[in-house]
Amino acid sequence: MNHGGLTNALFSSVNTTRICRFKGGLAYVNVIASLIFAGMSGAALADLGGLGNIEMTAMKENGYKDEDALGITLASSAIGPIFLLVFPFLFMLLLPLFLGLKFY
């Protein structure tokens, strides 16, 4: 994925959204890109290996300290697989609300 340029395309496409305009927006982009990448790979180490270098470089270039960039990247890589377990559960809870079904 790194060799083919998919990780660069993923991070740059998420980076061009409106989120990046906020203060600390690159940290939000880091988390969102990691969640998307975790959906494709399913593993925290794959997320860290795939996007970690790109995210760290982009954050350092935009004035983040090394410790902050590392902490945000590690946390976002670790939360990705956990989010994959929670997301279907949230979908099952929200779908009946959207369809107008009752829980009882």
What are 5-45's pLDDT values in tens digits?
Answer: 666 676 666 666 665 667 778 888 888 888 878 877 778 88
Q: What is the pLDDT of residue 39?
A: 75
CB 15 within 8 A of CB 29: yes
- pTM for this prediction: 0.67
Two tokens, residue 73? 């990247």
* pLDDT surpassing 60 at residue 97: yes
SS3 42: coil
So what's the pLDDT on residue 71?
94
**Residue 29 has what pLDDT?**
82
Round to whole Å and give the CA distance between 44 and 2: 16
Whole-number pLDDT of residue 46:
83
